Amino acid sequence: MTPILETIHLTKIYGKGDLAVTALKGINLTVSEGEFTAIVGPSGSGKTTFMNMITGLDSPSGGDVRIDGKNIATFSGRELSEFRKNHLGFIFQSYNLIPVLTVEENVEYVMLLQGKSKAYRRERVAAMLEKVGLVGFEKRLPTQLSGGQQQRVAVARAMVSSPRIIIADEPTANLDSATGVALVDMMHQLNSEEGVTFLFSTHDEHIMQRARRVVTLTDGLVSRDSCC
C-alpha cells in the first residue's frame, strides 16, 4: 500500500533547560492510503501533540512529517494553509460549522476556496449530502440541526473536496452513544466507498472497535500498534 502519512523520528520538546518537557520522543509511524486508523492514549501520552504535528498546527522540534510525500515540517505558514486546503479534511468534536451558512453552503465552502466551478460544487454537495443522509436539509442553518446532524454536515464538508487524508479529532465526543455509533458506521462506509484515509484521535471504544488499526501512544512513544 502507498504511504499517505509518515512521521520520521518525530520529536517535540516544550520549554528549555530544566523546564524542558519532551512530549514526543522520536515517533516513527507510517499510515497507508485508505486506512481507517485510530490514535489512542491516556492524558499526557502525546496524542494531542502528535495530531498537532501532522496537521501543521505546531512545528516539530525534530524529525519529519510527510503527507503524500511532502515534508510539511519545512513549509511556511502560507504553504501550510494551501496544503491543508487542498490535501486535508478536518472533523472536530465541536463541529466548527459556520453558523450563518446553510448546510449546503457549509459543505461547499472549501471547494469555493479552491476555486471549483459552481456546477462542480453543486454536483459534489448534492452527492455528499445524499451519502450522509441529509437530503432535504440543504437550506437549514446549523442551529436547526441536532448534534448528530451537524457532525454529518462536518463529515460531508471534510470529504466533499476528495482530500488525501481526513483528520478526525474526537468526532463523537459530543454525541450520545447511539448517534456516535451511527456516525462511525457511516464514516466507515464512506471510507470503503470513497477510499479516503481516516485518522482518528479518540477515546471512543466504538471507533476503536471499528478501526482497522489502533495505534497507542504512551509517554510520547508508540507503545502498541495493532497492525505490527
Position 148 scores a pLDDT of 94
Domain residues for 125? 3-225
Question: Does 54 have pLDDT greater than 80?
Answer: yes
What is the DSSP secondary structure assignment for residue 142, as one 8-state letter? Answer: G
Total structural domains in the chain?
1
Q: First vs last Cα of the chain: how many Å apart?
A: 15
Position 41 scores a pLDDT of 93
Position 2 scores a pLDDT of 82
Give CA–CA dist 123/48, Å, rounded: 35
Average pLDDT over residues 172-198: 91
Question: Does 32 have pLDDT greater than 90?
Answer: yes
Position 33 scores a pLDDT of 93
Q: Give, in degrees to the nearest 5, the angle at Cα 59 between 66 and 43.
A: 95
Most confident of 7-11, 56-60, 199-203: 7-11
Average pLDDT over residues 181-204: 91
Q: Ramachandran region of residue 97, left (φ > 0), alpha (ψ -120 to 50) or beta?
A: beta
Residue 10 main-chain phi, psi, to 5 deg: -70, 120
Residue 59: exposure state from Cβ atoms within 10 A (0-12, 13-18, ≥19): middle
Average pLDDT over residues 200-225: 94
Give CA–CA dist 104/72, Å, rounded: 31
The tens digit of pLDDT for each residue in 78-115 reads 999 999 999 999 998 889 999 999 999 999 999 999 99
Average pLDDT over residues 168-174: 91
Helix axis angle for 77-87 and 103-114, nearest 10°, is 120
Position 93 scores a pLDDT of 85
Domain CATH for 27: 3.40.50.300
Position 43 scores a pLDDT of 85
What order of strands is seen across the sheet that includes strand 165-169?
88-92, 165-169, 197-201, 36-40, 213-218, 221-225
Cell of 208: 476503536
Residue 117: exposure state from Cβ atoms within 10 A (0-12, 13-18, ≥19): exposed
Average pLDDT over residues 113-136: 95
pLDDT band at 124 (very low <50, low <70, confident <90, very high): very high
